[in-house]
Amino acid sequence: MKKVPIVSIVAACSGMGKTTFLEKLIKEMVSRGIKVGTIKNDAHGFELDKPGKDSWRHAQAGAKATAIIGPDKYALIQTMAERADLEKVAAMLEDVDIILVEGNKKGTQPKIEVIRAEKGREVTVPEKDLVAVVTDIKDLAVDVPCFDINDYQGVADIIQEKFLLSVPEDKVGELSHFDKNGQVRIVDVTEKAETTREAVSMGEIWMASETFRLVAEGKMAKGDVLAVARIAGIMGVKETSRLIPMCHPLNIGAVHIDFKLDEKDSKVEIECRVKIKGQTGVEMEALTGVNIAALTIYDMCKAIDKNMVISNIRLIKKTGGKSGTYLREE
């Protein structure tokens, strides 16, 4: 039997709207063809077995287990000597791809925490268990992906990426972002030695000759395009782990973004060089820096030139780490 991933949707207290959020998340995931099972973790009992109901009367008469069967569903109630283990209950759910639990803050399974401004800003889930935060607070600072309270698609995306994507068994060993069961993971780098690592990437943005002239002369209406793009590229480097799900948050050592103006072809060439002393490389950070710088140029010039083309974004060089030096042959 396959092991079904379990993810809890939790909140610090009641009234956060986690039930409403979970309801809409379920609808989004079901619309993608995902078979969702759910468990409501409630310490106060549940309505199905409340006093006066047939199932309650059966239990009062001495039945240890009671099942209710309807035309299109069934329910099973079994008396336990102590509170049921979540994993044991989850194992009873058949033919589902994932189990979403409402509640269970104390469990060790992965969690998504719902935080509302009216109830406070504190993250209560331990960092090791926290997958993402869902909130209506615009500036909440967290070290995991942070989604708007209405972004059900974004949360469904990250659940799919982290828990539902799989690869053939014979390919698992070739892809370090997949574990032995073919499930997505962040690579464990805790045992790696810290070394000096550097990555260099490049890309281009092509534009009309008049657009190029205004950029080169710093006369674009929105301001100095290249100065803003340089800042945006640096910010993009620092935010890479928030944009690319499997990237580690890194303490970047240095970022340099340079531009080369090619008047003949009316294009700006972008180079991003990122350096770190750490346990993992910065290739993705360098590539992200180029992308964000190019997109910023486009944004600042699109009012007069929507035909600009961003192209040829590639890794040029990387050094450091176990795999050594890579140098693109062009």
What residues are annotated to the active site?
299
Specify the pairing of strand 111-115 against strand 130-135: parallel
Range list of β-strands (E), 118-172:
130-135, 146-148
Question: CA triplet 302, 289, 224: central angle to 5 degrees?
Answer: 45
Q: Any bridge partners for residue 11, and if so which?
A: 114
Contact 309, 298 (CB under 8 A): no
Question: CA triplet 6, 12, 16: central angle to 5 degrees?
Answer: 90
End-to-end CA distance of the chain: 50
Burial class, 109, CB count within 10 angstroms (exposed 0-12 / middle 13-18 / buried 19+): middle
Residues 6+ apart with CB under 8 A from 280: 187, 189, 192, 197, 248, 250, 321
Closest CA to 242 of 163, 146, 174, 156: 146
